[in-house]
Amino acid sequence: TPMNETFEAASGVKVVALVFGFIGAALGIVYTPEMTRRTAFAALIAGIVCGGLGPELLQSFIVAPLPTIIKNVVALVCGIGGMFIVPGVLSISQGFAKDPWGFIDRIRGLRGPKDGDK
């Protein structure tokens, strides 16, 4: 349909990926214990966005074109997992706000010691 083609051309995001992201996020919300309406709505939006962007992001790392079914499965899985991104980002930002230097030290610890560090 012309409207889908216009949206896909303008955004680079396939409508079907958004639909699979929505389905994945909705399934994730159903199986997540007790959420407020506000949290569920935010999780749904995050899942849709991740579902829409995930297949194209994966494709950017792989040279060979991915089959449509694989892209749709990636969108579904990204929709399920995407709903956990917002709480994760909030948790990280709150940790940084409480103790910026401790946060930086933890990040440096994840990378391992640099040359010259003891």
Query: Tens digit of pLDDT for each residue in 44-92?
Result: 999 999 999 899 889 899 989 989 999 999 999 999 988 788 778 878 8
Given a cut of 80, whether residue 112 has pLDDT beyond it is no
Burial class of residue 6 in the structure, from the number of CB atoms within 10 Å of its CB (0-12 exposed, 13-18 middle, 19+ buried): exposed
Rounded CA-CA distance 73/79 in Å is: 10
Q: Identify the band that residue 113 occupies on the pLDDT scale cut at 50, 70 and 90.
A: low
Rounded CA-CA distance 77/64 in Å is: 21
**pLDDT, position 116:** 53
Terminal Cα distance for the chain, rounded: 62
Q: Is the pTM of this model over 0.75?
A: no
